[in-house]
Amino acid sequence: MRFTFDDLIAVMARLRGPGGCPWDREQTHASLLPYLLEETHEVIDAVDRNDAVALREELGDLLLQVVFHAQMAAEAGGFTAGDVVDGLIRKLLERHPHVFGDARLGTPGEVLARWHELKQREAPHRGAFEGIPATLPALARAQKLVERAAVGAAEATRAAGTVAGARPATEAAAAEVRRRLDRLADTAGADAARERLGDLLLAVVALASAAGVDAESALREAGERFVAAHEAAR
């Protein structure tokens, strides 16, 4: 016997229902946020370690958070887990016309450009940076901001991985990092140093974006190398 998604929804409803679990029954959307964040990071950690067994378990824990929030919304007369699934499938169908429709897109860059085009049609008055969570880690959020600002032909070229388009952007971003590093070296005063260091970090994120590198992952991996080197030297 294998349990299904419907079984998961039923178990969650029982836990939250009369005679269910006291801890589960007292939770709110806000009280669950730390667990949602923790489970997300545990998924990331499993991926970084290339641990398929752990990834399966952590994805289950993350799915529990989704179903938990949906159950509370259903109890309040809002949406249900079924509504979440329905909305997600509709979005996937609408944003993949090259798979489920007649559109012909041959490269990842073309797909990405079309994706942004469809999102813009859905919300034509949406702000350039709307939808980027303020609660993201600063480095990850900075890269989202940089990449959102670059939506269009330049981003499509970079995403496609074409050397001709990527190299000039990377060289220009690297030059900007060097310029801001020189400015920081000549800075006096804590406030000015803080501002210029922030600008330098943003320039480094732009360099990562131009090079097609996820800055958050790159820094996390560098931190692990630092720990390994430190431990080896002891």
Residue 158 — pLDDT band, cuts 50, 70, 90?
very low
CA–CA separation, 221 vs 198, rounded Å? 21
Using the predicted structure, report yes or no on whether residue 157 has a pLDDT greater than 70.
no
Using the predicted structure, report yes or no on whether residue 136 has a pLDDT greater than 80.
yes
Q: What mean pLDDT comes out for the span 120-136? A: 78
**Number of domains forming the structure of the chain:** 2
Same domain flag for 107 and 202: yes
CB 112, CB 156: distance < 8 Å: yes
Rg value, the chain, Cα: 22
Q: What mean pLDDT comes out for the span 20-47? A: 95
> What's CA 188's distance to the chain center, in Å?
36
- φ, ψ dihedrals at 186, nearest 5°: -95, 5
Same domain flag for 59 and 89: yes
Same domain flag for 59 and 159: no
Same domain flag for 85 and 133: no
Using the predicted structure, report yes or no on whether residue 161 has a pLDDT greater than 60.
no
Tokens of 34: 């730390």
Using the predicted structure, report yes or no on whether residue 221 has a pLDDT greater than 80.
yes
CB 215, CB 142: distance < 8 Å: yes
Same domain flag for 180 and 217: yes
Using the predicted structure, report yes or no on whether residue 156 has a pLDDT greater than 50.
no
pLDDT of residue 169: 80
Q: What mean pLDDT comes out for the span 67-82? A: 97
Same domain flag for 105 and 69: no
pLDDT of residue 173: 87
Same domain flag for 63 and 125: no
Write down the mean pLDDT value for the chain: 87
Same domain flag for 23 and 38: yes
pTM of the predicted structure, to 2 decimals: 0.71
Residue where a domain terminates, one of 67, 94, 121: 94
The residues, ordered by sequence, that sit 6+ positions from 29 with a Cβ below 8 Å of its Cβ are 69, 72
Q: In terms of residue numbers, what domain contains 192? A: 100-233
Percent of the chain with pLDDT over 90: 46
**What's 184's domain CATH number?**
1.10.287
Tokens of 91: 């979005």
CB 210, CB 167: distance < 8 Å: no
Same domain flag for 87 and 111: no
